[in-house]
Amino acid sequence: MSAQLSQNLLLAVPLAPLVGAVVAGLFGKQVGRKGAHTVTILGVLVAFILSAMTLESVINDGARFNQTIYEWMVVGGLKMEVGFLVDGLTAMMMCVVTFVSLMVHIYTIGYMEEDPGYQRFFSYISLFTFSMLMLVMSNNMLQLFFGWEAVGLVSYLLIGFWYTKPTAIFANMKAFLVNRVGDFGFILGIGLLVAYGGSLNYTETFAKAGELAQIKFTAPLWGSDWMMLSVACICLFIGAMGKSAQFPLHVWLPDSMEGPTPISALIHAATMVTAGIFMVARMSPLFELSDTALNFILVIGSITALFMGFLGIIQNDIKRVVAYSTLSQLGYMTVALGASAYSVAVFHLMTHAFFKALLFLGAGSVIIGMHHDQDIRNMGGLWKYMKVTWITSLLGSLALIGTPFFSGFYSKDSIIEAVHASHLPAAQWAYYAVIIGVFVTAFYSFRMYFLVFHGKENFRHKPFPGEHDHHDDHGHHEPHVPHESPWVVTLPLALLAVPSVLIGYFTIAPMLHGDFFKDAIFINHQVHHAMTELGHEFHGAAAMAVHGLQTLPFWLALGGVVTAYLFYMVWPAVPATLARVLRPLIVVLENKYFMDWINENILAKAARGLGLVFWKAGDGAVIDGVLINGSAHAVGGIAGLVRRVQTGHLYWYALVMILGVIGLMTWQLWPYMWPQLKTLTGL
């Protein structure tokens, strides 16, 4: 029998960061900068320790928790509750979220040291941590939606943290609006499940999955029968497309780099963008019953994995390169979901959280060292000045491209093999997309690495942004030399580098081929064979890594690294030549496949035009003109007629009374008078 977890312990996990957020946010002036970062870091540290204790109980004691904490209200038999569901999936997510958040909090002390919004920033990131914990710990769709919207709200505040910067305000509004599109689909999916399943609770809904899969309804426009569950799952995934930045709802994520670097790591590494991946894995009992939804997921994920990687090749902003890398890797996770390899998707979510947070924070360290210049063309040779950042960034890059024995290898290669083993119609295209993506990822990752840390020191030829050329006493140019970041920045880099290298090796067996997710993820092995075939081919982490040295993904990754080295270290004229030859293609990539143009000039204008029609014709003409103003005009007209009758003259009232009496008598006597009139007149 499974051990039970303490309700109070679980309550403390999300509440500890919330307390820190409230103190830093509402009493920031009173506690000061040191007080703000102390209370928020302490809150997240408590959450991490309790999450680690929870994970230990789940692994060693088989502990589980699925209870209602607070019943908010009951509407027509539908219970709206706050409750926690803790199993292997939840416990792992709790640890990843709190650990990465803790590293980001510590890193922020150095990165935001001189920012006037210091306390406000710590309040926001702690509130973000609370929101994400509420999302992953929920046992019902109402609380899931609360956490879903809360992380969206706080990300809006964080992306636009520098609210006097026009590009930041545009970016956070863009993120907010794009996510509203996804969230509309998400709430429709939840609504369908509640309407037909009668419950918001996960366990109760999953228990009716078989019944829900039998329900069909006629599509209003096409006239054919649709499976309700397929429609609901696709709607849920549209929500995931917004949060996890899948094509075509990906456009907000690159622009969100306008926020401070620490939040780039927190949003894009382990928290908000992984919410969609987590949600689909949690809903696996439903998605497993709809091949239509799984094929849709495969197509969207493969497009994102490949084509967002292409965009990373032409980026020159160090944070945007890492951002497009995140988009591409989220595509890999989504592809794994579509292949019914949910545990592989979550495994890559975990490994990616560590090495992508490492890369984002490493990029931030470079930006500090370069006095906030983010253009990689102005860098080069930084390894001599920033040894810790250089080594940790190299480790993160090697993990990202799937180098054998690194964490990213185990999760990324498992995704490729799972897609290859899938028998769904869309799996073949997805396999080619993720295979090509291996070369692309290696190329743009090491293009950035070589341009930043090796080669010619381009920063010696120009002052940093906002600075003037400095000269010594003899009038010679004296450039500012980059410097290593303070320990509060480099310590999180070192701590994140350890799991980036090692965690995949030690966790692949229990997470993919053991029973770690046994009661959290459901797979119909009789129909979807990917995980079964992966299990047959797995002979241990070491053997997998050794075999990986002989596989196509390894040689493609090596080819990407070598190509990047030759292009940018040996023959730097080649990329410029290719850019001229392939100019039409470069224009398409520079304009991000014209998705922003389509959104702003077609979809947004169409939506605005439709809104204008509803405003002028519906609201203005019908509602205001007829229903509201029309009734007012009618009352006014009648009142005007009545007012003319009320003259105030006695003779007029007497005349009206006499006419009234005559009219009344005529009306009463008319039935008797009419026959006599007809006789007299001969009618």
Tell me the one-letter amino acid at 468. H
Token readout for 598 is: 């389509």
Half-sphere exposure (Cβ direction) of 331: Cα atoms closer than 13 Å: 32
Res 651: pLDDT: 78
Which range is least confidently modeled, 318-332, 348-362, 602-616?
602-616
Is the torsion defined by CA of 56, 60, 63, 64 positive or negative?
positive
Q: What is the mean pLDDT of residues 209-222?
A: 79
Helix (H) or strand (E) holding 81: strand 78-86
Contacts with 655 (C-beta within 8 Å, 6 or more apart), sequence order? none
Distances (CA, A) of 420 to 428, 433, 440, 442, 452: 7, 11, 19, 21, 35
Name the nearest CA neighbour of 202 among 323, 93, 87, 310. 87
Which of left, alpha, beta for 112 (phi over 0: left; psi -120 to 50: alpha)? alpha
Q: What is the mean pLDDT of residues 102-116?
A: 85
Tell me the one-letter amino acid at 197. G
Q: How far apart are CA 481 and CA 464, in angstroms?
A: 10
Which range is least confidently modeled, 169-183, 369-383, 396-410?
369-383
Tell me the one-letter amino acid at 165. K
Q: Cβ distance 245 to 305 under 8 Å? A: no
Res 543: pLDDT: 92
- Helix extents (H) in 425-551: 427-453, 487-513, 530-537, 541-548
3-state secondary structure 221-241: CCCCEEEHHHHHHHHHHHHHH
Which range is least confidently modeled, 40-54, 372-386, 475-489, 554-568?
475-489
Which range is least confidently modeled, 7-21, 251-265, 321-335?
251-265
How many other C-beta atoms are found inside a 10 Å radius of the C-beta of residue 547?
14
- Helix extents (H) in 198-317: 202-207, 209-212, 228-243, 252-255, 261-265, 275-282, 284-287, 291-313
Q: What is the mean pLDDT of residues 244-269?
A: 79
Q: How far apart are CA 157 and CA 256, in angstroms?
A: 11
Token readout for 593 is: 């496949």
Q: Report pTM.
A: 0.86
Distances (CA, A) of 170 to 115, 259, 484, 602, 679: 21, 11, 32, 18, 89
Tell me the sheet residues that pair with 471.
477
What are the pLDDT digits (tens) for 281-292?
Answer: 999 999 999 999
Res 73: pLDDT: 86
Residue 476 pLDDT exceeds 50: no
Q: Cβ distance 533 to 421 under 8 Å? A: yes
Q: How far apart are CA 180 and CA 151, in angstroms?
A: 13
Distances (CA, A) of 37 to 124, 180, 367, 475: 12, 32, 22, 44
Q: Cβ distance 75 to 18 under 8 Å? A: no
Q: How far apart are CA 325 and CA 379, in angstroms?
A: 20
Tell me the one-letter amino acid at 327. L
Res 528: pLDDT: 85
